[in-house]
């Protein structure tokens, strides 16, 4: 979802501002989740979509991590994509291929078919800057990055402990790492890199990226590309009706993106912490996993999550909060006047949506590049507070209570709120269509 959404928004901008049409090719492992289908079905007529043949997942080693699964799907789809592009080229005046970070092997297909090639980078300039430096870091480092004693300084941004770098670089011997390293090597040989971020948010990082010697490829900061807050469904979701009855800026949205899951222990600690904070909350809750991570390809996320909450939690908090199972209209919630805070996993789309709607955040990163985003949001930009975990990686209920109260009541929260709104104002005047 975090990749499809901005790509679809980008396609909308392209057809709006240029006399061209777009075809989006989508790899699948079976039926697409409903929210993704509704996005594709809501696209204008001159944006087509085409599903690549479903990949046989039985060939995957059991327990493969999400990044590995995605890499496997993309590799398995390469020849189908090539066939589809050859067919499209025979019928249309095909000029360019825009590929996602997981689809960079299609660069070779683009070259073979004489197409312009653009990388669509669905994250921010800081992660892009890290991707540029990865090649050098790889040459200079002999251990796993998590074992480095010195922090890794990302040009134009902050420093990171090796364990907080993106998940794709955490196991240097595996295929996922090799693929990401290859992406790093390819960056200087593209026709362009399209980044879903904007100058005002990451001025210094874009400046450093553009400085002589850094990037030989033109970089286009075209963000923030986010969904617009108009409900496709005619009848508003029940949670929006619930929000309509809450005081302005009083509710904390809790959501871990399209795939984030917590362990059972963590789900209980979060529930109790929210209750203890005394603040109103709207929690999009997902069934727990063995560990706090992602479950894009896990059937357990089909199970009703409400059964995993602490005993009598729902009845005790009936006047304080609302729990929405599995999926909610996040963008409508963030744009609602009752929403005053966002406890987020720091997926880049969620982060941008929060900034655009002026909602201060509590950063609770889980996987992918979220630990880097969380540090950038809290330390470099001061737009979020951090939730600190204990030695077992669990954020305890007392900490949840403290950080929610800090965001909603205390000076630190007010400062963050003010800073988010300083970003929101100029953004809306520059792009009123947001």
- Comparing CA positions, the residue from 327, 340, 179 lying closest to residue 250 is 340
Q: Which residues 170-229 are close enough to bind ligand UDP by CB under 6 A?
A: 227
For ligand UDP, which residue has the nearest CB?
2
In 198-256, beta strands by DSSP E:
219-221, 251-255
Q: Which residues 263-302 are close enough to bind ligand UDP by CB under 6 A?
A: 284
Site size with ligand UDP, rule: CB under 6 A? 19
Q: Which residues 109-128 are close enough to bind ligand UDP by CB under 6 A?
A: none
Angle between helices 397-409 and 411-430 (to 10 degrees): 60
Given candidates 103, 223, 328, 360, which one binds ligand UDP under the rule CB under 6 A?
A: 328
Cβ–Cβ under 8 Å, residues 85 and 103: no
Least Å distance between CB 106 and ligand UDP?
20
In sequence order, which ranges of 250-396 are alpha helices (DSSP H)?
264-277, 313-316, 330-334, 348-356, 370-375
Q: Which one of the spans 40-48, 84-92, 229-237, 327-335 is the region binding ligand UDP (CB under 6 A)? A: 327-335
Indicate if 237 belongs to the active site.
Answer: no
Question: Is residue 220 helix, strand or coil?
Answer: strand
Choice between 2 and 310, CB closer to ligand UDP: 2
Task: Name the active-site residue from 100, 104, 105, 357.
Answer: 100
- Comparing CA positions, the residue from 257, 222, 252, 232 lying closest to residue 349 is 257
Q: Does 259 bind ligand UDP (CB under 6 A)?
A: yes
Least Å distance between CB 369 and ligand UDP?
9
Q: Does 242 bind ligand UDP (CB under 6 A)?
A: no
Given candidates 277, 349, 378, 417, which one binds ligand UDP under the rule CB under 6 A?
A: 349
Query: How far is C-alpha 372 from the geometric centre of its chain's CA atoms?
Result: 12
**How far is Cα 280 from Cα 319, in angstroms, rounded to an integer?**
8
**How far is Cα 141 from Cα 48, in angstroms, rounded to an integer?**
44
Given candidates 106, 350, 354, 387, which one binds ligand UDP under the rule CB under 6 A?
A: 350
* CA quadruple 154, 159, 160, 161: dihedral sign: positive
Choice between 205 and 350, CB closer to ligand UDP: 350
Q: Which one of the spans 243-251, 348-356, 376-384, 388-396 is the region binding ligand UDP (CB under 6 A)? A: 348-356
Q: Which one of the spans 57-65, 234-242, 258-266, 398-406 is the region binding ligand UDP (CB under 6 A)? A: 258-266
Q: Which one of the spans 113-121, 171-179, 256-264, 371-379 is the region binding ligand UDP (CB under 6 A)? A: 256-264
Least Å distance between CB 122 and ligand UDP?
7
Q: Does 258 bind ligand UDP (CB under 6 A)?
A: yes
Indicate if 3 belongs to the active site.
Answer: yes
Residue 293's H or E segment, with its range, is: strand 293-294
**How far is Cα 369 from Cα 69, in angstroms, rounded to an integer?**
17
Using DSSP bridges, classify how beta strands 293-294 and 260-261 pair: parallel, antiparallel or unpaired.
Answer: antiparallel
Tokens of 219: 């970089």
Given candidates 10, 160, 180, 348, which one binds ligand UDP under the rule CB under 6 A?
A: 348
Q: Name the phi and psi angles at 181, rounded to 5.
A: -65, -40
What is the torsion angle, in degrees rounded to the nearest 10, for the CA atoms of residue 248, residue 252, residue 257 and residue 258? -70
By the criterion CB under 6 A, which residues form the site for ligand UDP? 1-2, 5, 227, 255, 257-260, 284, 327-328, 330-331, 347-350, 353
Catalytic residue numbers, as ranges: 3, 100
């Amino acid at each position: 979802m975090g990749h499809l959404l901005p790509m679809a928004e980008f396609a909308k901008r392209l057809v709006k501002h240029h006399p061209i049409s777009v075809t989006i090719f989508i790899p699948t492992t079976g039926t697409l989740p409903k929210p993704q289908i509704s996005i594709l079905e809501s696209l204008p007529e001159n944006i087509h979509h085409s599903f690549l043949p479903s990949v046989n997942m039985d060939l995957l080693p059991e327990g493969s991590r999400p990044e590995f699964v995605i890499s496997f799907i993309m590799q398995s789809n390469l020849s189908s994509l090539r066939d589809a592009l050859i067919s499209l080229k025979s019928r249309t005046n095909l000029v360019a291929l825009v590929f996602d970070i997981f689809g960079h092997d299609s660069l070779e297909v683009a070259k073979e078919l004489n197409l312009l090639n653009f990388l669509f980078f669905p994250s921010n300039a800081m992660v892009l800057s890290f991707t540029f430096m990865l090649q050098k870091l790889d040459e200079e480092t002999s251990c796993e990055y998590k074992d480095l004693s010195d922090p890794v300084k990302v040009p134009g941004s902050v420093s990171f402990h090796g364990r907080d770098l993106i998940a794709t670089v955490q196991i240097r011997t595996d295929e996922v790492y090799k693929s990401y390293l290859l992406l790093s090597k390819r960056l200087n040989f593209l026709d362009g890199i399209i980044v879903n971020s904007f100058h005002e948010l990451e001025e210094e990082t874009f400046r450093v990226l553009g400085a002589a010697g850094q990037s030989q490829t033109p970089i286009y900061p075209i963000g923030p590309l986010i969904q617009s807050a108009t409900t496709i469904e005619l009848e508003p979701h029940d949670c929006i009706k619930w929000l309509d009855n809450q005081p302005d800026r009083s509710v904390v949205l809790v959501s871990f993106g399209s795939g984030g899951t917590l362990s059972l222990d963590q789900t209980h600690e979060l529930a109790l912490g929210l209750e203890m904070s005394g603040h109103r909350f709207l929690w999009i809750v997902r069934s727990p996993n063995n560990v706090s991570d992602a479950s894009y390809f896990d059937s357990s996320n089909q199970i009703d999550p409400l059964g995993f909450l602490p005993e009598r939690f729902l009845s005790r908090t009936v006047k304080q909060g609302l729990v929405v199972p599995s999926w909610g209209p996040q963008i409508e919630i963030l744009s609602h006047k009752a929403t005053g805070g966002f406890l987020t996993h720091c997926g880049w789309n969620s982060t941008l949506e929060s900034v655009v709607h002026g909602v201060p955040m509590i950063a609770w990163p889980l996987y992918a590049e979220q630990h880097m985003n969380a540090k950038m949001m809290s330390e470099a930009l001061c737009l979020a507070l951090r939730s600190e975990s204990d030695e077992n990686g669990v954020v305890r209920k007392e900490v949840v209570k403290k950080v929610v109260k800090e965001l909603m009541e205390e000076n630190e929260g007010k400062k963050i709120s003010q800073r988010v709104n300083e970003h929101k104002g100029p953004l809306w005047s520059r792009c009123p269509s947001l």
